[in-house]
Structure 1
Amino acid sequence: MNILILTLVILLCLNQNVTGHPLFDLLAAKLNDFASTVTKTFHHIRLEVRKLFQPPHTYEQLPSASLQYGDSIFKRTFNDFVEMTAAENETEIPEYINLKSEPTALMSTPQLATLHGRRVESHLVHTRDGYMLTLHRISPRTDRTPAMRVVNQTVLLHHGLLGSSADWILLGPEKSLPYILTDFGYDVWMANARGNYYSRGHVRMSVDSVEFWKFSFHEIGEYDLPAVVDYIRYVKKSNDPIDFVGHSMGATALLVMLSTLPEYNQYLRIGILLAPLAFMSNVEGPFKVLTAMANSPPAQLLKLIGNKEFVPTRKIPKWLALKYCKGPLLFCCNPLYFISGGIPEDNHAWNLSFLARMLYHVPAGGSTDTMLHYAQIVKSGKFHKYNKVHEEYSLNKISLPIVLFSSSEDWLATIPDVLRLYFSITNPIDHYIIRGRNMSHTEFVWGAHADELVFTKIIEFLDSGIRVLGSTKSNEVRNDLD
Structure 2
Amino acid sequence: MKFLIVLVAVIYHYQSVDCLNAIDYLNEKLNDLSKEVVKAYNHVTVSIKNIFTRRNYEDEKEIEKYILEEKIKQSFNDFVEKSGSCTQHPDYLSFRSEPTALMSTPQLATLHGRRIESHIIKTKDNYLLTLHRVFNGSSIPDRTVILHHGLMGSSADWIMLGPTKSLPYILSDAGYDVWMCNARGNYYSRGHLLERVNSSRYWKFSFQEMGEYDLPAVINYVKKFKPIDEKINFIGHSMGTSALLVMLSTQPRYNEFLRMGILLAPLAFMSNAQGPIKMLTTMANRPPNSLLKVIGDTEYLPSRKMPKMMASKFCTGPKLFCGNPLLFLAGGIREDDSLEESFLARLLYHVPAGASTNTILHYGQLAQNGKFHRFGDSSAEFHLHNVRLPIVLVTSTEDWLATVPDVMRLYFNIVNPIDHYVIRGKNLTHTEFVWGADADVTVFSKVLELLVRGTNRKSLKENEV
TM-score for the superposition, normalised by structure 2: 0.85
1:83 maps to 81
Pick aligned residue for 1:135 from 122, 131, 149? 131
In structure 2, relative to structure 1, the CA distance for the partners of 1:364 and 1:429 (3 Å cut) is: same
1:326 maps to 316
3-state SS in 2 of match to 1:349: coil
CA distance in 2, matches of 1:243, 1:229: 10
1:63-89 CA-partner distances (Å, limit 9, x unpaired): 58898xxx9979961110011112111
CA distance in 1, matches of 2:188, 2:42: 35
Offset, 1:313: 0.5
3-state SS in 1 of match to 2:454: helix
CA distance in 2, matches of 1:74, 1:119: 26
Amino acid corresponding to residue 334 of structure 1 in structure 2:
N
1:42 paired to 2:44: yes
1:22 maps to none
CA distance in 2, matches of 1:341, 1:40: 53
1:248 paired to 2:238: yes
1:440 maps to 429
CA distance in 2, matches of 1:129, 1:414: 33
Tell me if the contact between 1:156 and 1:189 (Cα under 8 Å) persists in the aligned partners: yes
In structure 2, relative to structure 1, the CA distance for the partners of 1:410 and 1:239 (3 Å cut) is: same
Superposition pairs of residues 48-127 of structure 1, within 5 angstroms: 54=56, 63=60, 77-89=75-87, 92-127=88-123
Offset, 1:408: 0.4
3-state SS in 2 of match to 1:296: coil
In structure 2, relative to structure 1, the CA distance for the partners of 1:44 and 1:80 (3 Å cut) is: closer
Pick aligned residue for 2:445 from 427, 450, 456? 456
CA distance in 2, matches of 1:394, 1:158: 21
Tell me if the contact between 2:153 and 2:354 (Cα under 8 Å) persists in the aligned partners: yes
2:463 maps to 478
In structure 2, relative to structure 1, the CA distance for the partners of 1:454 and 1:50 (3 Å cut) is: farther
3-state SS in 2 of match to 1:404: strand
2:358 maps to 369
2:186 maps to 196
Structure 2 gap ranges (5+): 1-39
CA distance in 1, matches of 2:123, 2:142: 28
Tell me if the contact between 1:152 and 1:185 (Cα under 8 Å) persists in the aligned partners: no
2:373 maps to 384
CA distance in 2, matches of 1:411, 1:243: 27
Offset, 1:42: 3.3
Superposition pairs of residues 115-264 of structure 1, within 5 angstroms: 115-140=111-136, 153-236=143-226, 238-264=228-254
Offset, 1:259: 0.4
TM-align CA RMSD: 2.7
1:423 paired to 2:398: no
CA distance in 2, matches of 1:315, 1:267: 39
CA distance in 1, matches of 2:63, 2:225: 10
Tell me if the contact between 2:374 and 2:380 (Cα under 8 Å) persists in the aligned partners: yes
Offset, 1:295: 0.7
CA distance in 2, matches of 1:66, 1:53: 10
3-state SS in 1 of match to 2:317: coil
Tell me if the contact between 2:133 and 2:179 (Cα under 8 Å) persists in the aligned partners: yes
In structure 2, relative to structure 1, the CA distance for the partners of 1:428 and 1:152 (3 Å cut) is: closer
1:286-310 CA-partner distances (Å, limit 9, x unpaired): 1100111011100010001000001
1:145 maps to none
3-state SS in 2 of match to 1:451: helix
CA distance in 2, matches of 1:138, 1:65: 24
CA distance in 2, matches of 1:74, 1:156: 26
Amino acid corresponding to residue 294 of structure 1 in structure 2:
A
Tell me if the contact between 1:407 and 1:433 (Cα under 8 Å) persists in the aligned partners: yes
Superposition pairs of residues 307-318 of structure 1, within 5 angstroms: 307-318=297-308
Offset, 1:50: 10
1:78-126 CA-partner distances (Å, limit 9, x unpaired): 110011112111xx21010111110000000000000000000000010
Tell me if the contact between 2:73 and 2:190 (Cα under 8 Å) persists in the aligned partners: no
CA distance in 2, matches of 1:75, 1:53: 16
CA distance in 2, matches of 1:168, 1:223: 22
In structure 2, relative to structure 1, the CA distance for the partners of 1:150 and 1:229 (3 Å cut) is: closer
In structure 2, relative to structure 1, the CA distance for the partners of 1:404 and 1:300 (3 Å cut) is: same
In structure 2, relative to structure 1, the CA distance for the partners of 1:74 and 1:215 (3 Å cut) is: closer
CA distance in 2, matches of 1:119, 1:41: 37
1:465 maps to 454
CA distance in 2, matches of 1:138, 1:50: 39
Tell me if the contact between 2:72 and 2:197 (Cα under 8 Å) persists in the aligned partners: no
Amino acid corresponding to residue 407 of structure 1 in structure 2:
S
Tell me if the contact between 1:407 and 1:415 (Cα under 8 Å) persists in the aligned partners: yes
In structure 2, relative to structure 1, the CA distance for the partners of 1:237 and 1:55 (3 Å cut) is: farther
3-state SS in 2 of match to 1:212: coil
3-state SS in 2 of match to 1:359: helix
Tell me if the contact between 2:142 and 2:230 (Cα under 8 Å) persists in the aligned partners: no
Pick aligned residue for 1:293 from 283, 287, 298? 283
Offset, 1:140: 1.8
Offset, 1:275: 0.1
Amino acid corresponding to residue 465 of structure 1 in structure 2:
G
Amino acid corresponding to residue 391 of structure 2 in structure 1:
I
Amino acid corresponding to residue 76 of structure 2 in structure 1:
F
1:365-393 CA-partner distances (Å, limit 9, x unpaired): 00000010110010000000001110100
CA distance in 1, matches of 2:289, 2:196: 23
Offset, 1:242: 0.5
CA distance in 2, matches of 1:315, 1:126: 30
Tell me if the contact between 1:163 and 1:365 (Cα under 8 Å) persists in the aligned partners: yes
In structure 2, relative to structure 1, the CA distance for the partners of 1:322 and 1:48 (3 Å cut) is: closer
Structure 1 gap ranges (5+): 1-37, 57-61, 143-148
CA distance in 1, matches of 2:63, 2:163: 24
Offset, 1:285: 0.6
CA distance in 2, matches of 1:291, 1:218: 18
Tell me if the contact between 1:429 and 1:465 (Cα under 8 Å) persists in the aligned partners: no
Runs of 4+ in 1 over 4 A off after TM superposition: 38-41, 43-53, 62-67, 71-76, 149-152
In structure 2, relative to structure 1, the CA distance for the partners of 1:178 and 1:252 (3 Å cut) is: same
3-state SS in 1 of match to 2:268: coil
Tell me if the contact between 1:406 and 1:415 (Cα under 8 Å) persists in the aligned partners: yes
Amino acid corresponding to residue 83 of structure 1 in structure 2:
E
Tell me if the contact between 2:137 and 2:177 (Cα under 8 Å) persists in the aligned partners: no
3-state SS in 2 of match to 1:99: helix
Offset, 1:414: 0.1
Q: Identity, % of aligned pairs?
A: 57
3-state SS in 2 of match to 1:433: strand
